[in-house]
Chains A and B, each alone.
Chain A
Amino acid sequence: MKPVLLVAASMACLCACYVRNRVYNAVPQSIVAVAPAPAPAQKAASNKQPKPDAPDHVDADCDPSLRACLAFVEFDEMGEPWDPRQLPAALKLIDAAKKKSDHPIVVTFTHGWKNNAEDEHLLGKQNGNVVGFEGVLEFLKQAKDPNTKEPLYADSPVVGIYLSWRGDLISKYWPVRRQLSYFNREGAAIRIPGAAMTAAFTSIMLESHRGKPGAHVILVGHSFGGLVLERALTQAMTDFVLRRPPPGSEDPADPIWADLVVFVNSAAAASEGKQMLDLLNATHAEYTTPVREGRAVERPLFLSISSLGDAATRFALPIGHGPSYLSRAWQGSWRTYNPPDAFGIASQSSYYLSTTAHMEALQSHLIVAEADAAQCNGGKLFAGPFQLPNQQRYRICEKPGRHNDTPYWAMEMPASIVPDHGGIFNENFIGLLQLFLPDAEEMRNRALRPALRTRP
C-alpha cells in the first residue's frame, strides 16, 4: 500500500508543478495603457483591481499620443494564436498611433524562457518582463537627445506589442525541474515560429508602414525569444532580400520591413544566424543612410548583442547543446568546411556551440569602455565617445580584421551595461540601443533613414 501512496503523491506533486497552458490577456484585456489607472477606474475595476503603484491599466481605447500603449499577442504551445482577436486589436492600436503622427514608433518584444504574458501586478504581483518592457516604452516616450537634451521623439506615439509564448513551463516552486525545462522550452522555441507567428510579425510591419513610411518598427527578442524571433523572421526576410529590385529601379527607401531587429542575450545558436549572414554576404547587402555629418552611414538591420556577464548564453548554452552535439557527432552530422567558410570557421559544429554575438568570428563591432579605446585599433567608429546613465563612457567601433561586414551586426557588450542574462530592462542598455535608433531629424524625415540595398 505504501509504495502506491508514494507513487500517487509523487505523481500529484509532479502534475501540480506545471504552469497552466492558457491565455493571460484575452481581448479586451489585451490592450493596456502604460500609466497608473485614473482614480475612478480603480474604483470601477471589479475582479482585477490595479494597485495604486501599478504601472499600467487595461484600456481598450488607449491613445498612444498621450501615453505609451501596450498590446499582448499570445501564442500557444503549437504556435497558434490563443485569441485571434488579439492581433487585430494590436493592429488597431498601431492604426490609432498612425492617425496621430506620420512617424509612430512600434516596438515588439518577444520574451524568453521562464516568462509568459501574465500581467501579474494587476493581481498585486510583478512580472519583470512586462513591467520592464513598459518601462522601456516610457523611456522611449520621454527619451531626450543626448546633445540638445530636447525630447527626441516628441511627435512619435509609442506602441508596444508584447509577443508571448509559453516560455514558463514549470512553476517557480520547483526550481530544479524548472531549470531542466531548458531542453523542452528550447524545443518549443524552435517549434512555435510557424505561419501564424511569421504572419503576426509581418502584419505588424506592414500595418505600421502602410500609408506611413515614416513609422519606425523595432523587433526585439530576448533569450529564447531571440530564437523564436529569428526563426519567425528568417524565411520572410530571405524572401524580402531576394525580391529587392536592383539599385536605381525603385525607391530604395520603400520600407516594408522592420527598421531594426534586435536579438539581445539571444539563446539561439549561431547556426540559426549563419545562413542569414551567408545570404546577406552573398547578396552584398548594405543597410545605409544618406551621408550626414556626425551620423554613421552604415546601420544594423539585425543587431545581435549579448552581455559579457551573460553566463546563460556564454556557458550554459554550450553545455546545454552538448548532448545533442555529441549525438549528431555520433551520427556523423557535422560537416567540416574545407577550406574554411567566409568567416574563417572550419567546423560546422562551432556554430552550434555558440551564439552569434558571442562567436568571435561573427562579431562585427566592439563596444568598449573609453579607457579601452585602443581595442578599436583604427576600426571605424560607429558611435562615441558617449556616456550612459551609469556615468561611464563607451564607444562602438568596427572590429579590426572583422569578417562580418553585413547589416547583421554582432557584438558583445560590457557587463557594466547589462550585468547578466536577465537584466536587459535597464536605462543603460536602452540608452545604448537609442544610438541605433534614428535621431530626431531622421525620425521626421524618412528619406534620411537607412534602406536595404543588394547586388547579385
Chain B
Amino acid sequence: MNQRVRLWLALCLLGIPAFPQSAPAIPAMQGQLAVPRRTCPGDPAGNLASIDCNFTPSQRWEQFVTGSVTDQALLGATFFGSIAQLMDDPAEWKKDWTGLGERIGARYAQNFAKGLTEYTFSAMLYTDPRHVSYANDPRIANHKRGVKPRIGHAFMDFLSVRRSSPSGDGRALPNVPLFAGAAASGFVGYAWYPDRLATPQQAAQRASFSLGTALAASFYNEFQPEVGRLLGAIFKRGKTPSVPAKAAGNPGGGE
C-alpha cells in the first residue's frame, strides 16, 4: 500500500477532512490590477506579464525570420543537407561541394517557401499559431482527466489554429497556413529537383514530412511536463545522503 493511500485511510478513520475548508486562500489579482493582466496561450496560469494576447504583426514577422531566414533555418538546412549528402540523396546531384551546396540550398529554399506561405496566410487570416496545451486552453471550460483528451487536443491543435484575439481564446479555424506551407514546401522542389523527384507523389512526401514535424511539435507541447519529469529523474544530482551530515564532521563542510 503506498503512502498516499495510507494517508487517506488514516485521515478518513480519524474523521478529519483531507481538505479543510478553512485553508487560507490567497486571492487572485490578475484581473484587478490597474491594467488587467491576461493568461495568454503558453503563459503560466495567473500570468502577470501579459496585457494583450494578440499575435502581433511583429511577433509574426519574428516567427518567420527566425524560422525561415536566419541561423536556425541555415542550421536546419545544413544539418539535413549534410545527411542527404552522406546518403547520396538525390543520386543525380554530385557528391562534391557543389552537390552539398545544392542539397543545403534546396532545403533552405524549401523551408523559406514554407515559412513565407505560412506567414502570408497567417497574416491574411490573422491567426495565432502558438501551440496551447489542453490544460491551458482557455476555450475549454471543463477539463477532463486522463491522457485521451490530451491526445485529442494535440491533434486538434495541429489541425486547427486560433484566430488571434486579445484574450487568446479566438475562434478555431482550419489550419490553412500550416497546410498551405506544407504544400508549398513540397511543390517548390519542382523548381530544382531532378525530374524523378518532381512528381506529385514526391511533393506529397515532402509535404507529409513537414506536417509530421508540426504534429510532433504539437505533441511535444502537450506532453512537455512529462518529458520534463522524465529528464528530471535522469538528471537528479546530489541526493540527500542517509548518513547524518553533522556526524561526518568534515572541516571542508564548514562544521
| Interface set of A (CB-CB < 8 Å, partner B) | 13, 17, 34-36, 53-55, 67, 121, 125-126, 128-129, 131-132, 135-136, 138-139, 142-144, 146-147, 149, 172-177, 270, 277-279, 281-282, 308-309, 311, 314-315, 318, 335, 337-345, 350-351, 353-354, 358-363, 370-375, 384-390, 393, 399, 401-403, 415-416, 418-420, 423, 425-431, 434
Contacts and interface: CB of A to CB of B under 8 A. Distances in A.
B92 interface: no
Interface string B201-241: 00000000000000000000000010011011001111111
B15 interface: no
A419 B43 CA distance: 9
A160 B1 CA distance: 50
A308 B253 CA distance: 27
Contacts of B232: 308, 314-315
5 contacts: A135-B33, A318-B235, A360-B237, A390-B45, A427-B29
A390 B46 contact: yes
Contact of B238 (A35, A359, A416): A359
A350 to B, nearest CB: 5
Contacts of B239: 360-361
A35 B36 CA distance: 11
Contacts of B52: 53, 126
Nearest to A356: B238
Nearest to B11: A373
B24 to A, nearest CB: 3
Interface of B: 3-4, 6-7, 18-20, 23-30, 32-35, 37, 43-52, 56, 58, 62, 65-66, 69-72, 75, 225, 228-229, 231-232, 235-246, 248-250, 252-255
Contact of A387 (B25, B51, B252): B25
Contacts of B245: 340-344, 403
Question: Sorted from nearest, which 10 A-B pairs have the closest CB atoms?
Answer: A278-B254, A341-B253, A135-B48, A344-B241, A342-B253, A132-B49, A146-B24, A423-B44, A431-B26, A427-B46
Contacts of A361: 238-241
A270 B238 contact: yes
A142 B32 contact: yes
A314 B75 CA distance: 26
Contact of B51 (A53, A139, A172, A308): A53
Residue of B3, B44, B229, B241 with most chain A CB atoms under a 10 A cut-off: B44
A436 to B, nearest CB: 12
Contacts of B50: 126, 128, 131
Contact of B72 (A128, A175, A343): A175
A335 B25 CA distance: 47
Contact of A311 (B62, B72, B231): B231
Given A343-B253, A353-B237, 15 more contacts: A17-B70, A129-B49, A131-B48, A139-B29, A315-B232, A335-B252, A342-B253, A358-B237, A359-B237, A361-B238, A374-B6, A387-B24, A389-B29, A426-B45, A427-B46
A173 B51 contact: no
A357 B19 CA distance: 28
Contacts of A13: 70
Contacts of A337: 250, 252-253
A144 B250 CA distance: 46
Contacts of A309: 225, 228
A176 B246 contact: no
A427 B242 CA distance: 37
Contacts of B23: 370, 384-387, 393
